[in-house]
Amino acid sequence: MINNIRTILSLLILLIVTTGAAAADRPNILFIVSDDHGWGDLPSNWDKTEVQLPTLDTLAAKGVRFPNYHTVSLCGPSRACMFSGQFSTENGMWRGPGKEQLGSPGYRGIKRDVKMLSEHLAESGYTTGAFGKWHMGSLGGEVPNDRGFDEFHGFLAGAHPYWIKPGRSKIMHNREPDSNADGHATELFTGWAEEFIRTSAEADAPFFCYLAYNAVHGPLRVDESKPASAPEAWVKKALDRGVSFLRSDYVAILEHMDHNIGRLVDLLDELGVVDNTLIVFVSDNGGCTMDEGAAGGRFPGNNGPFRGGKATTYQGGLNVPLLMNWRDRLPRGMVSDGQVMHCDIFATLLDAADIPVPERNGRNPVRGMSLMPHMLSAGKETISERAMIFELWGNIGLRKGDYKLWSDVGREHSPDWAALMAELKHTNLALYDVSKDVSEKNDLRTELPEVYATLKKELIDHLSNINSEYPGGGSFEAGNSRKPKAEDTTETPTTKRPSRDQFFRSRDRNNDGAITLEELIGNPKGRNVPALTKRFKQLDANSDGTLTLKELKNAE
């Protein structure tokens, strides 16, 4: 009996030690997103650019680069896909977030039953911080501190001036306006991320640092009557080596960003954590162009050889920079020809953190696949061919293998997927072989009818199988004439106390009509758990261990 007890104790100790070691081995994650940064302005992608990005070049040369990475061609939906592992038709962010309330027919936001990447990481023990641009919602239940982040310092909307003055910006620190922020956005965001990394590196838990620059989103100087958005010293560097005036501010913004990313790489080295930090750099969508009426403003982005740009589903809007670096873990200098997409970032980061990738997120499938096996095998484990589907205002793109379907059927159908599907059924889409026709000029629909029919059926099937229900908000159907409830713009949304209905919906994460104590507390870090527990018991009138909306309202 004594020997058996000793054996059991030895096994338990071994299990505890092994589990502890596994937890300690989980990497820190530095996830960096640039804004409107075209494929052609990453020098390791396109040597014809005049942009010089030595930090990103080095990370690519010592890591893995994905020149065939695809995303939605607009800021908010792209980020939502990376954080949910789903297509924008599924996760709720079919367009950039708006001011319509949950439940209104025009609501645009990540569904409340969709668990975001940051929430998975926080629940598994990561310290989480978000710095810079959010653009995934500003209403109650949508802001970073409601979506798994311990700390947020940045702005909630889609754009912000680069030069920030005290009391004259929309910079937030957690849920409150930051009236003291002063300086250049790129430098401020980097500094806040640096402080977070320094503090987190001292703790036992791994950290997830999400750094979303607004570089190189407008406003940018394209004529001499306007001030530069980049520091003048960086503009001068560009002009002195022959960059055109039109491109000078644009180039300077990117190079200034690269310099600041270098600061963080140096910091990781200084703190001795670089060997266990996975660095991911990606652009949210293609670059703006100088074409008349170009989405996002007329700015001189560089999408390399590809047609179109931001807010189009041509390759110039979809195909953007992606690279990953994890010293001594990922291969050095690997260039993958695999077709990968935004959803894969969700799966890859969960896998790297030793968190199982779920099959579903809310009511729809997870579309992303982890790229870790592909990278760790130096490409020997290939990436399965699959359809990558992109929709924006009826602007459709489906890429599978060498072929791509494309059409623009107009904005009036989104997000009524049944109506969009009906429209597409009698629409002739274009079919391109993008392996040979990067400019997407030669329509092969009539030459390759079987390929065309197969891909169109796959697109129709996708649209017909989307669960479009929003928890707490019903589903949005054609012919719903109800007007969205206007958001009160007299107050900052995050400082305005949510109604009981809003509070209940934001806490009822599994949408079962009741709030548990765990759902009420959420992420316990920094929260007064005893006080919340006491309050929960006071509200729980029938002492059944859950709170209903009626119980909440009765306590008012």
**DSSP secondary structure of 15-83:** HHHHHHHHHHHSPEEEEEEESS--GGGSTTT-TT-----HHHHHHHHTSEE-TTEE--SSHHHHHHHHH
203-218 residue pLDDT tens: 989 999 999 999 999 9
- 267 pLDDT more than 50: yes
Q: Confirm if 505 and 102 have CB atoms less than 8 A apart.
A: yes
Does the pLDDT of residue 1 top 60, yes or no? no
Which residues is 29 bridged to in the sheet?
208, 278
Dihedral sign (CA 74, 76, 77, 83)? positive
Contact of 219 with 160, CB cutoff 8 Å: no
Kindly report which listed range (24-33, 85-94, 241-250, 502-511) carries the lowest average pLDDT score: 502-511
What is the Cα–Cα distance from 76 to 82, expressed in whole angstroms?
10
pLDDT of residue 297: 85
Homologous superfamily of the 27-376 domain (CATH): Alkaline Phosphatase, subunit A (3.40.720.10)
- Specify whether the backbone of 227 is left (phi greater than 0), alpha (psi in -120 to 50) or beta: beta
With bands split at pLDDT 50, 70 and 90, how would you rate the model's confidence at 514? Answer: confident
Q: Which helix (H) or strand (E) holds 281?
A: strand 277-283
Strands 163-164 and 172-173: unpaired
pLDDT of residue 91: 97
Q: What is the mean pLDDT of residues 305-334?
A: 97
Question: CA-to-CA distance for 522 and 231, rounded, in angstroms?
Answer: 41
Point out which residues pair with 211 in neighbouring strands: 32, 131
Q: What is the mean pLDDT of the chain?
A: 89
Q: How far apart are CA 551 and CA 547, in angstroms?
A: 6
Q: Please say if the pLDDT value at position 542 is more than 80.
A: no
Maximal CA-CA distance, the chain = 88
Residue 269 reports pLDDT greater than 90: yes
Residue 346 has pLDDT above 80, yes or no: yes
User: For residue 216, which of 31, 32, 34, 33 has the smallest C-alpha distance?
Assistant: 34
| Class for the domain spanning 497-554 | mainly alpha
Position 156 confidence tier, pLDDT thresholds 50, 70, 90: very high
Average pLDDT over residues 37-46: 98
Q: Which pLDDT band holds residue 512 (cuts at 50, 70, 90)?
A: low
Nearest CA to 260 out of 32, 63, 39 is that of 32
Per residue in 366-384, pLDDT (tens digit) is: 999 999 999 999 999 999 9
Residue 546: band (very low, low, confident or very high) from pLDDT cuts 50, 70, 90: confident
Candidate from 111-115, 395-399, 504-508, 539-543 with smallest mean pLDDT: 504-508
Model confidence at 35, in pLDDT bands (50, 70, 90)? very high
Burial (Cβ within 10 Å: 0-12, 13-18, ≥19) of residue 469:
middle
What are 54-66's pLDDT values in tens digits? 999 999 999 999 9
Model confidence at 497, pLDDT cuts 50, 70, 90, reads very low
d(CA 188, CA 229): 14
Can you tell me the distance from the alpha carbon of 323 to that of 275, in angstroms, rounded to the nearest whole number? 17
Domain regions of the chain by residue span: 27-376, 393-470, 497-554
pLDDT for residue 488 is more than 80: no
CATH, domain range 393-470:
3.30.1120.10
Percent of the chain with pLDDT over 90: 76
